[in-house]
Structures are given as C-alpha cells and as structure tokens.
Copies of this chain bind each other. A is one copy, B any other.
C-alpha cells in the first residue's frame, strides 16, 4: 500500500522566491548544487506526499504505515509480523509498535499460528475492515492528486525508476 512514514521535510517551491529585503548574502540563485542531488528531490517529494497523505487521512486518523499494514493484513489474513516487516521493510520492533496501535484501536487481532508456535497470525476485525474500506477511498483520492501531474507513460516510468531504488 502505501506508505507512510513520517518524515520530514520539503523544500521545493520557494527555492527562489525571496523578497528583496530578505535576500541572503550569497543568494546566487542556486543552492550549491543541491538540486542536482537525486536524494534531495526524493526527500522533498516524499515529504510532499507525506503531508498530503496526512491531510487526506486526518479524519480517519490513520498514518501511511498503519494503512499499509491494514492493507497487507487484509490481502494476507494470517500473515505474521515478521512477514510484514520484510514486505514493508520495517524493523521488527517498529512493526510491533504499529500492530500494537492498530490492536489498541480494535482494528486487528493477534492469534496463534497452527504450524509455528513462534509466530502470531494477524487478522482484521470488522472495524479494521471498515477502516480499510474508508481508507481505500482516501488512497484513491491521494493517488489521484499525485498522478495528476503525469501522463500514464510518465507514471509508469517513475514507478520503474523508483523500483530500481528500493528493489
């Protein structure tokens, strides 16, 4: 699903829109080559996405990670925490914290695993299912906001390039 993380910050839009009076000493129009740095743009883009996500989901009170995890559990009932960590690239302790929050809200339940007593099976409750359904609508809206700036071809290209980074 989607993601979520919390993050950080952004920089983009006002990079060169300074009022004259606040002009900086060495405001030569470039930020020291900072905008040739891919990592810089990834972070800003991530931050922008993060913020919009948070806004879109402020009513539901769900974070990116939480929605991601709900989605994953819905797709794979009985999945274990360790699997979630692997799929979403999160630490075991981090997954714990997220599951705990979701459990506290009554969205997921933990149960025993039939074949491996180390594992816990995770399932959505009815409330969790309802939450996810509501979340999916928000995700579509959020995704639309994001995709609006690209042609279908560009979207495919972007996904392909990003995939090379995380795969």
Enumerate chain A interface residues (CB-CB to B < 8 A).
1-5, 8-15, 18, 21-22, 24-27, 31-32, 34-49, 53, 64-65, 68, 71-72, 74-80, 83, 85-91, 94, 115-116, 139, 142-143, 146-147, 149-150, 154-155, 157-159, 161-167
Give 9 closest A-B pairs by Cβ, nearest first: A10-B89, A3-B43, A12-B167, A44-B166, A46-B46, A41-B162, A24-B76, A12-B166, A32-B75
Q: A39-B146, A162-B44 are in contact. Are A86 and B9 (CB under 8 A)?
A: yes
Question: A1, B79: Cβ atoms under 8 Å?
Answer: no
Taking CB atoms, residues of chain B closer than 8 Å to A90 are 8-10
Docked pose: A65 CA to B6 CA in angstroms? 13
Question: A40, B86: Cβ atoms under 8 Å?
Answer: no
What would be 6 A-B contacts, judged by CB atoms less than 8 Å apart?
Answer: A3-B39, A8-B89, A9-B90, A43-B64, A45-B162, A45-B163
Question: B49, A162: Cβ atoms under 8 Å?
Answer: no
Nearest chain-B residue to A121 (Cβ)?
B25
Taking CB atoms, residues of chain B closer than 8 Å to A162 are 38, 41-42, 44-45
